[in-house]
Structure 1
Amino acid sequence: MVTSVDGRLALLAVLPLSFVVVNALKPFLRKGQHKLPFPPGPIPLPLLGNILSIDTKQPWLTYTQWGAAYGDLIFARILDQEVVVINSQHVAQALMDKRSRIYADRPYLATVEPFGWSYSMAFARYSDEWRLSRRIVHQTFRPDSALKFRPMQIRRAREMIVNLIDDPQHYHAHFATFSSSVTMSVVYDYEIVARDDPLVHLVINAMDIGVVMMTPERAMILKMFPFLLNLPDWCPGSSIKRDARISTNLSKEMVNVPFDYVKQHMVRIYSSRHC
């Protein structure tokens, strides 16, 4: 993963010079720009910003601590990227839902395309295609429409409870199986095995290596040093390139395997009705 030793060595090797160049140019690039004041937040360090204060594996814990000190809207700087953190459901709904035309766009994440997640609505930029996808999702999952999924959710919840009673040590895996099974049932009408389902494992593996890189804290490395994707596999710092390749392959499987299942399932249904 990107936090490996060779990744850190490559980062440290080019970090000082890159920061000096980028930050030296900033005053000239921003000259004449007038901005409204940012929300409150921790004081950033020169060049580094607040990156050293953030738990990159669990950044939400850091943001929760900052929220107690600075409020529901926080400003931070991660290297050269300015970030506003929304720290409450109320503010998130006010900005992202009620004012979605202004704030619904996604930030650029340098890891989305290399890691094979550019197809995902969750990371798509605001566009006509995104608006169409959002409308379809709202039509399908609005409260009155989602009632038809309740029996399936209850059945999956009961399976999860049985798994928790039988094997409480692996509760995290049971929760992951439950959430994946509900999604797979709704989207693909796929009936999973209560434990060790191959498609659930595929989804979990794809998300474990891919989604963790879809955060500003992790994506910043590729934004600052995109050449890491072109390093030879034997070179220090190439672990992020290998992870991107693995993630892309798993992401393609995660999309194609259940889609192929649906096509085969539809063929079987059609054949059974026309025998």
Structure 2
Amino acid sequence: MNHTTLAALTSAAVSLSYWLFFRRRQVPGPASPLPLPPGPSPLPFLGNVLDMPRKREWETFSRWHKAYGDIVFVSLVGRPMIILNSFEATTELLDDRSTTYSDRPRFPLIDLIDHEFNFGFMAFGQQWKTNRRLFSNQYNKNTVHTFEHAFRASVSTLLRNLLRDPESFADHLRLHAGQVILDVTYGVTVTSREDPLIRIAEAVMDATSVAISPAMWVLNPIPILQSLPTWLGGENLSRRLRQWQKDIRDLQDVPFERVKASLVTRDVRPSFTSILLQEDDSAEQENMIRQCAAVAYGAASDTTVAAAVVFFLTMALYPDVQKKAQAEIDRVVGSDRLPNYTDQGELPYVTAVLKEVQEIFNFLPGLPHMTTKDDEYIGYRIPAGSIVVGNIWGMLHDPRMYPDPSVFDPERYLHAGRLDCSTNDPSRIAFGFGRRSCPGKNFAETSLWLLVAQCLAVYSISPADEKAAHNLDFTSGAISHPIPFPCIIRPRSESARMLLENISADL
């Protein structure tokens, strides 16, 4: 949906909805002596719709933070929106008062493309609780060790591919992410970035990134937009929506049906899907397993890619950090083998590098919450039905928590040579808050740690164009990716090359 189409639909909807909608919702909630939080001045009828960013939303939110403080109010055609800019405010509301702040606003485009089965977008209620519990029981910190075989196999393939074709490192990282999640979720092995299952996940994440981007939030408060025929957006929009609907059906059905067929022939590999189907294959449970597997398959692949690409970028930009991490690996592990999970406790600097990647280049989505009743915070009224957004980028760059936040400094997570994130763990922010925090956090961090440690052990990473790398931009949307950039990736020593050649021979 281009901005011209969006503007036309918005204008039409505002004109049609004004008397029925705007006047009713201009002042939501009961009369209250408490003021709303400060924020930019709204326009008549539209509120702050035109102030909402279409890209690089973190810059706008951070600018409002400086102007108005830790809690900011904007109006979207009468719908209240609250932006939380500090860790203190966000944890008090989204964590401590989670019963009030755990709902989700509707995403009209998510409904149009039939992606509402994703529990990340569901309203707070029993269906959400049941689906999230099913997912969390399989992807939590107590079960993540059972996936180590998949993590090791996919990183080995990545190391081999980087030796063969280092210039295509971003493609290799996409394959790696797809291999991990398809193996764990469905017991499916893929060997090529061009595999249809990889393509399906990428297509769905492209669609989802558009559907839940801040540019689309302005559609949420306008009910008439949710019932307008899609042909009003033109044939191009209708065609794109049909393709996205097909991609999302394929996301649920194609790998899932493979697992069901393998159960019949008894040629099945253990996976999230096969294990749960063998426990209970009732129609209701089967549908829930299908949905939760698709959530893992679609979301995990893209977030892992974004994080891994950012890791390569930071190592290219900060060679001193790279060398220090490699020196730690050499001292603890030596040069005749690759680091593994049993070494993690003795590699605090390597772990701190991964933490700092999360802090300085946030790559995960910050989906909006919604209040279910009126609330009050530091003397301000927060109306029921408010869209509530945690400014994740702003919190991760708040000098009150991260002195010199734009400086890439893994040392901020070390104390007396040991890892200490007790007061500033960026994953506490980057993976969301409250009951809506990312349930795949432990899976993602465990997978990424092995990738980081083993790549550092054997490869030297440098920028092909240092000036261009320092001026790199990031995409906007649900998950932020660096704009493609070239890197020089070489074995860092002769012993490293021998290790890589042995991996290639084994595979």
TM-score range (shorter-chain normalised) is: 0.7 to 0.9
The residue type equivalent to 2:259 in the other structure is: V
Quote the offset at 1:124 in angstroms.
0.8
Distance 1:181 1:93 in 2: 35
Distance 1:35 1:239 in 2: 49
Partner of 1:248: 245
Whether contact under 8 Å (2:77, 2:221) holds in the other structure is: no
The residue type equivalent to 1:226 in the other structure is: L
Partner of 1:269: 266
Residue-by-residue CA offset, 1:111-152 (whole Å, 9 max, x unaligned): 222111111111011111211222223322221221222342
- Aligned partner of residue 116 in structure 1, secondary structure: coil
Whether contact under 8 Å (1:114, 1:244) holds in the other structure is: yes
Partner of 2:229: 230
Q: How many residues align?
A: 266
Distance 1:86 1:246, change over 3 A: farther
- Aligned partner of residue 75 in structure 2, secondary structure: strand
Partner of 1:83: 81
- Aligned partner of residue 106 in structure 2, secondary structure: coil
Superposed, 1:15-94 pairs within 5 Å as 17-18=15-16, 20-21=18-19, 22-26=21-25, 30=28, 33-34=31-32, 36-67=34-65, 69-87=67-85, 92=90, 94=92
Match 2:210 to one of 189, 207, 212: 212
Distance 2:179 2:96 in 1: 31
1:118 and 2:116 are equivalent in the alignment: yes
1:3 and 2:5 are equivalent in the alignment: no
Partner of 1:128: 126
Distance 1:271 1:160 in 2: 25
Quote the offset at 1:107 in angstroms.
1.3
- Aligned partner of residue 195 in structure 1, secondary structure: coil
- Aligned partner of residue 111 in structure 1, secondary structure: helix
Distance 1:65 1:183, change over 3 A: farther
Structure with max Cα Rg: 2
Distance 1:79 1:31, change over 3 A: closer
TM-score by length of 1: 0.76
Match 1:138 to one of 123, 136, 139: 136
Distance 2:265 2:67 in 1: 58
Distance 1:231 1:262, change over 3 A: closer
Whether contact under 8 Å (2:151, 2:180) holds in the other structure is: yes
Structure 2 unmatched runs, 5+: 270-507
The residue type equivalent to 1:250 in the other structure is: D
Quote the offset at 1:181 in angstroms.
3.2
- Aligned partner of residue 112 in structure 2, secondary structure: coil
Distance 1:175 1:53 in 2: 36
Distance 1:222 1:38, change over 3 A: closer
RMSD of the alignment, in Å? 3.5
Residue-by-residue CA offset, 1:48-85 (whole Å, 9 max, x unaligned): 33333333244344334444555554333333322223
Distance 1:254 1:39, change over 3 A: same
Quote the offset at 1:222 in angstroms.
6.7
Whether contact under 8 Å (2:78, 2:221) holds in the other structure is: no
- Aligned partner of residue 196 in structure 1, secondary structure: coil
Distance 1:32 1:101, change over 3 A: closer
Whether contact under 8 Å (1:180, 1:200) holds in the other structure is: yes
Q: Identity percentage over the alignment?
A: 23
Distance 1:121 1:31 in 2: 28
Match 1:259 to one of 256, 259, 262: 256
Distance 1:181 1:106, change over 3 A: farther
Superposed, 1:97-116 pairs within 5 Å as 97-116=95-114
Whether contact under 8 Å (2:13, 2:225) holds in the other structure is: no
Distance 1:160 1:72 in 2: 42
Whether contact under 8 Å (2:84, 2:90) holds in the other structure is: yes
TM-score by length of 2: 0.45
Distance 2:235 2:37 in 1: 37
Quote the offset at 1:31 in angstroms.
8.2
Distance 2:46 2:8 in 1: 17
The residue type equivalent to 1:59 in the other structure is: E
Residue-by-residue CA offset, 1:216-272 (whole Å, 9 max, x unaligned): 53153375342774154xx55564444332222211111001111211232333599
Structure 1 unmatched runs, 5+: none
- Aligned partner of residue 123 in structure 1, secondary structure: coil
Distance 1:193 1:79, change over 3 A: farther
